Chain A
């Protein structure tokens, strides 16, 4: 598991790589939150194109970041999820809350 960052205007792009479960989400959460505070951004784009596995801990991770981003008036979106994690995203109904660019 790894996460790399890019900035696009007012948006922080977090490119997550590997597997998101309870174990890895704790580290991801810390790294994403500290970067979000450090950078002059208010929006967040989570790029999931390199995520090969995600269980419900990933839903917790996304919802938690969405709350943080909303609290500073920013927008959160998800980009490029692979088909294997779409089932999890769909069942969590996350699409009704967060913009999803497939």
Chain B
């Protein structure tokens, strides 16, 4: 079977396959038996730690440097390689490592999917590496760019100017130009906004229809891929545990509708986003009077860029950066949620970080009301107490964290120690607080078991819970979160939403940047919808303030 596009769909065979990463006591995956026919489209599900990414990396031929396809515990003679492969994993009957370009992999992080700085060169990169004749490369590049919907951009368009969704489509084009028989997608849309998710999903669908290639996609938002795949394979939760050695690594396997019907409860339990299911969360208490004013922004213009110094001719004065958003006036009140929404490039994160006292306003002011600036909550007497003035950007770091806590999109950016407990104690120790709040947070966010672990080794959901806990340990009255639900499984999502709703009812103000409408519905409160500056200027001044559906005023 060979389609008109020169793509020969690949078959995958796994027999008792397993892999242990170097330095890990248990295999990431073991006892996998799986047959994927040429042209099949498979969605691979399973809880985190089930070895989904390991399988994709192995199929892409980028897993370790051990003896490719060798059966049995390969002799650990190598001085650096301590990996362990069992059984066999084959593409068209041969080990993946031996057939470069037969499978193409797209990963999660858009930023590291781009290799070169010009659009066309980046797409050509894979084809060049496969030694495709030069004359054949450029037609392939143009075709691939057309297929992913980037055909209208010039070939020398700078790749740094692309959005996240465009970068992921570019990565797909780079793979397509290699004409692989097997497309491997490892959570390609986890870091994208809803529009970006659809862009990528639709581009994948078009390419598969055209080439007939085999697809294996890992993603825990089932709804996105359900209609595009014709088979769902669910891997055993924690196939790395002892009990799994006896069983097969595959728990359920079949057409999407049947798998979703039969395994619905199990999948929900494993934190998979099953279509039509919104995890149960705590409902907020009925609204009381308007909360006390904590922070007010007036005529705020924001940018991530810093002011720069002009050259000699302009007398070295300061030049303000060009704002990405301007004219924002908004209030943050105790016990009330403020949700900042809008498309990419509208300056949502920049606005949140400016409100949080981390970025200097380009124009306008952020001022803390006396209730916030006056002193730390909880009656603690520490370095963070005492009146700090009204401008959060000018506060010392310790004054800031006792008043406004910020949770960044990437938890790792905020880790400052090598142990979970130290991480949690860091704020309270510096502020001279007691440890009682820390114990409560450990318990509440299910981190008690992990106190001695290294923060960098935690799973995605654990890292997220830890980053929220560390910030809250300093008792801030305002909590700012940047895309807290990005890439989270349904269990962590529900835990986080319920926990924040509790905090709100206890009087903390919560400001969140999010694309997640269900999440903002749980928190209630006010939605600040930002529009990109060029289009916003055309119709109305400033952003819209409105109440999300079902939210209590």
A, B bound:
no
Residues of B within 8 A of A (CB): none
Residues of A within 8 A of B (CB): none
